[in-house]
Amino acid sequence: MTFFPQFRRALAEECQPGATVTVVGASDGKFVLPLAEDDHPVIAIESDPVALNGGEVLLPVSGIASAPGLVGRLKDAGLDELVRVVCADFLDTAPGQVAADAVWTSCSWHYSANHKRPLGEFVTRMQQLVRPGGVFGAEFMMPFEYRHEYVEHYTTPDQLARYFAPDEWTVLLRLQTEVFTERAHVGQLRDHKHRMGLLIAKRHPEDLTEGGTRPR
């Protein structure tokens, strides 16, 4: 389950061909490769060195296996020149150094390592790296179990929309799923349940009219 097609459509409709995209929590490239195949230069930020460089992973049925990482997959696909890989905690990166026309993240901020900082900081940092006229896209885990109610990083499209000031952003799309079952995968060795939300927003272009100097 992913809302990535909706983000791709917004990117095509709102940004120029060849717009740069920063992917926060790039993992081994599920979203980075298709974006680069579409000729988007990508900045791929990921804190897990195994996801980037490959290594041993634990698979649900077959046990330990060797998995390629993002760097190897990009090389094999001949896309490495289009992608800048940043191995870092996104919360420690300077937005100016990873600025782009659009930003995308898929189910990253609910990771427990991010709970030490408020959700608002993660969202604001993502907003800051989007150039005027660009697009913000995030799919994220929504609360549906009792324990989620105590972690603000499990959020809803409506709660997230509050971070988008109307004088700077237009929220283009909010969607959410019902609770669904996902099959076991690396990192989650049993079938498990999720509920997911999506928010896509457009940052207003710079006001280039006479006297209008600030981004709007």
Ligand X SMILES: C[S@@+](CC[C@H](N)C(=O)[O-])C[C@H]1O[C@@H](n2cnc3c(N)ncnc32)[C@H](O)[C@@H]1O
What residues line the site for ligand X (CB under 6 A)? Answer: 25, 27, 30, 45-48, 51, 89-91, 106-108, 111, 114
Question: What residues are paired with 57 via a beta bridge?
Answer: 65
Question: Which residue's beta carbon is nearest to the bound ligand X?
Answer: 25
Nearer to ligand X, 25 or 202 (CB): 25
Nearer to ligand X, 38 or 48 (CB): 48
Taking a C-beta distance cutoff of 8 angstroms, is the pair 143, 156 a contact?
A: yes
Q: Phi and psi of 160, rounded to 5°?
A: -65, -35
As measured in angstroms, the least distance from the Cβ of 9 to ligand X is 18
As measured in angstroms, the least distance from the Cβ of 54 to ligand X is 13
Query: Given the structure tokens 């100016």, which residue do they identify?
Result: 96
Nearer to ligand X, 117 or 216 (CB): 117
Helix (H) or strand (E) holding 175, with range, is strand 169-176
Q: Positive or negative, the Cα torsion across 142, 144, 146, 147?
A: negative
Distance CA 138, CA 164 (A): 13
Give the contacts of 215 (CB within 8 A, at least 6 positions apart): 132, 168, 203, 204, 205, 206, 207
Residues 79-117: b if buried by 16+ CB within 10 A, e if exposed: bbebbebbbeebeebebeebbbbbbbbbbbbbeeebeee
As measured in angstroms, the least distance from the Cβ of 26 to ligand X is 7
Query: Given the structure tokens 């060849």, which residue do they identify?
Result: 18
As measured in angstroms, the least distance from the Cβ of 76 to ligand X is 17
Distance CA 61, CA 183 (A): 12
Nearer to ligand X, 47 or 155 (CB): 47
As measured in angstroms, the least distance from the Cβ of 51 to ligand X is 5
As measured in angstroms, the least distance from the Cβ of 123 to ligand X is 12
Q: The tokens of 149 are what?
A: 């109610």
